[in-house]
Structure 1
Amino acid sequence: MDKANWERTPQWPLNTGYGPRTTAEEVIGNIDLNGKTAIVTGGYAGLGLEVSRVLAKAGARIIVPARSLQKAEAAVASIPGVELAELDLADPVSIDRFAHTFERSGRPLHILVNCAGIMATSEQRDGRGYELQFATNHLGHFQLTARLWPALERANGARVVSVSSGAHRLGGINFEDLNFLSQPYDKWKAYGQSKTATALFALELDKKGAAHHVRAFSVHPGTIVTDLSRHLSDDEMKAMGALDEQGQRTITKMTSEHKTIPEGAATIVWCAVSKQLDGKGGVYCQNVDIAQPVPKERIHEPGIPGVFPWAMDIQAAERLWQLSEKLTGVSFQI
């Protein structure tokens, strides 16, 4: 099968039998991942740590890239056999160094979970002048995946899972002003743009990678209280239903959107290992299923589940891919 014959997986629920309260351990069940290798960015904190733990428990060899090895060592100490390596997703040199080291090992890469990210930061730019949320959440993972492409091909059946967000509803890619040079910076617009980019990246990567037995998925894990929210004020956390009467940051009401960390990790793990997704890819998933499409007219309905049109637009995905190659100077050897 080549790209021209790629058959797009319908963006429609499979009725998997799972749901918003399903945990990552329930998804993994008795699946045996012995002999499999997985890289989990952000795999030492929050959702990433739970994904690392559950995949390792099933037998996978886990590599966790981290900006702070000292912090990561303490976090993953209870997970046997985890390999740690330095990686800063906002630094192209660091990305290349990490990927080159892994590539020299000659190992296949069966699972790549692009989980690390930042959210709602103040206006910042990377060393190239790119808006930091877009640079970290999308461009960093784009470059990392490109550099790891030979290892993904070697697996002869790999999956790439990129963590998006329901915040993609905040808007599509502003191709004319990606870096907020002509408009006032808005931390939520910037975050939403980066998470739309994550979904579009999975769509185009799946189209290009399917012929090489590499399938890609994007995931909305739900609203979970992790260190990702460190840049938010208490008032913002309260508005999200994530601040209790004592001022502690915690989910105050469990809904299909609000989850514990084990529940939030469930869809990520499902996309990484489930046989229900064999032969499928390029879809946006949530609540341990493929999400349903939502028409743009429903944008003002708070908490509505699903994926909006601009995050599953094939033409926008192609345009973003070409732009990402230009901005990073990196091309996939597909």
Structure 2
Amino acid sequence: MQKKIDSGFGRNTTAAEVLAGIDLTGRVAIVTGGYSGIGLATTRALADAGAHVVVPARRPQLAGQALAGLPDVEIDELDLADLNSVAGLADRFLASGRELDILINAAGIMAAPLQRVGKGWESQFAVNHLGHFALTNRLWPALRAGSGARVVAFSSLGHRFGGIRWEDPHFDSGDYDKWIAYGQAKTANVLFAVHLDALGASSGVRAFALQPGTIDTGLVRHLEQSEMVALGWMNSDGTWAHPETMKTPEQGAATGLWAATSPQLDGRGGLYLEDVDVAGIVGPDDLLDAQVAGLATWAVDPQDAARLWDLSAELTGVNAFETD
């Protein structure tokens, strides 16, 4: 199933083009990180298509400024590094009695210095994966009640940096590397979608992961300019070295919106998407070549997906699918 379906779209497709002719009136969506960068473009496109969009934010006042003037957008509070905050958001939403049709887990951090959050967890794994894992599980009753709900997990090309460090996911041994940690978290996003889809398909809930592309957003805030120059991303004058490979936020939002709404994906799930299509598998020799599209095999292994689910449930204490 992990191969292109010739969607008719491509890397330059915009959010508006994906949603052309799609009416989301009456649908409810939650978009984490929905007030900046790709997330803001996603929120705007969903609202323009008629959806009611809930945007949970760690900084609600900043979110309010960014989203001012958008129709039918609701702001709530959420800190993905704090499980009590995650539970509070979910409880408030469930108490409203609404169904949830679209959950887009777009918030994230990249290449952060070592920081411990929650129960001593490494921050990238905690924020990018565990917080979203707990949120999705707590919102499960509303997702299951929705009409063909979809869950979308934002991953990254960075998943190709490596898989899950099963024996030491939080780098307790002292060998922290911010890029290895980022790769683990982004692999976790894909494995999460694989297993959630396996668990939720019978209830009509499908899940997808995606790589949105390279976009100039605040995701690089933990990187010094000198490091980005050394990586070949940026010129010494502060301009991007390869602007032709970069997408606009509207182009970056397109794949996630396609995952969340497209009838082309009806009956499908557990897939990794790229450039508004299903991605293929990348060969081992091309894993670190950003110009070669595709998915690392370790990110779609169903046994690892189930193992990560169990580990995440143990760490967070949340599992909507737990049986007696």
2:186 matched to 1:198?
no
Residue of 257, 260, 275 corresponding to 1:269:
257
Distance 1:312 1:264 in 2: 22
Q: Which runs of 5+ in 2 are unaligned?
A: none
Contact 2:160 2:288 in 1 (8 A): no
Shift of 1:140: 0.1
The 5-angstrom pairing of residues 34-183 of structure 1 reads 34-183=25-174
Shift of 1:245: 6.0
Distance 2:166 2:285 in 1: 22
Distance 2:87 2:102 in 1: 19
Distance 1:300 1:265 in 2: 24
Residue of 272, 283, 292 corresponding to 2:280:
292
Contact 2:155 2:186 in 1 (8 A): yes
Distance 2:112 2:32 in 1: 19
Q: Aligned residue for 2:213?
A: 222
Q: Aligned residue for 1:14?
A: 5
Call closer, same or farther: CA 1:111–1:239 in 2, change over 3 Å. Answer: farther
- Greater shift, 236-245 or 116-125, is seen at 236-245
1:78-117 alpha-carbon deviations (Å, 9 max, x no partner): 3112100010000000000000000001100000000001
Determine helix, strand or coil for the equivalent of 1:31.
coil
Contact 1:225 1:242 in 2 (8 A): no
Distance 2:87 2:207 in 1: 21
Distance 1:87 1:302 in 2: 32
Distance 1:141 1:82 in 2: 21
Shift of 1:181: 1.4
Q: Which runs of 5+ in 1 are unaligned?
A: 1-9
Q: Aligned residue for 1:5?
A: none
2:21 matched to 1:30?
yes
Distance 2:83 2:96 in 1: 21
The TM-score normalised by the length of structure 2 is: 0.96
Shift of 1:43: 0.2
Call closer, same or farther: CA 1:245–1:295 in 2, change over 3 Å. Answer: closer
Distance 2:286 2:269 in 1: 25
Call closer, same or farther: CA 1:322–1:268 in 2, change over 3 Å. Answer: same
2:222 matched to 1:254?
no
Contact 1:225 1:251 in 2 (8 A): no
% same residue: 53
In the alignment, residue 121 of structure 1 is paired with which amino acid? A
> How many residues of Structure 1 are paired with residues of Structure 2 in the alignment?
322
Distance 1:147 1:98 in 2: 9
Q: Aligned residue for 1:282?
A: 270
1:136-170 alpha-carbon deviations (Å, 9 max, x no partner): 00000000000000000110310000000000010
Contact 1:112 1:161 in 2 (8 A): yes
Determine helix, strand or coil for the equivalent of 2:129.
helix
2:314 matched to 1:326?
yes
Shift of 1:303: 2.8
Distance 1:16 1:314 in 2: 25
Distance 1:62 1:29 in 2: 18
The TM-score normalised by the length of structure 1 is: 0.93
Shift of 1:304: 1.6
Distance 1:14 1:197 in 2: 24
Contact 1:114 1:161 in 2 (8 A): yes
Q: Aligned residue for 1:210?
A: 201
Cα RMSD after superposing both structures: 1.4
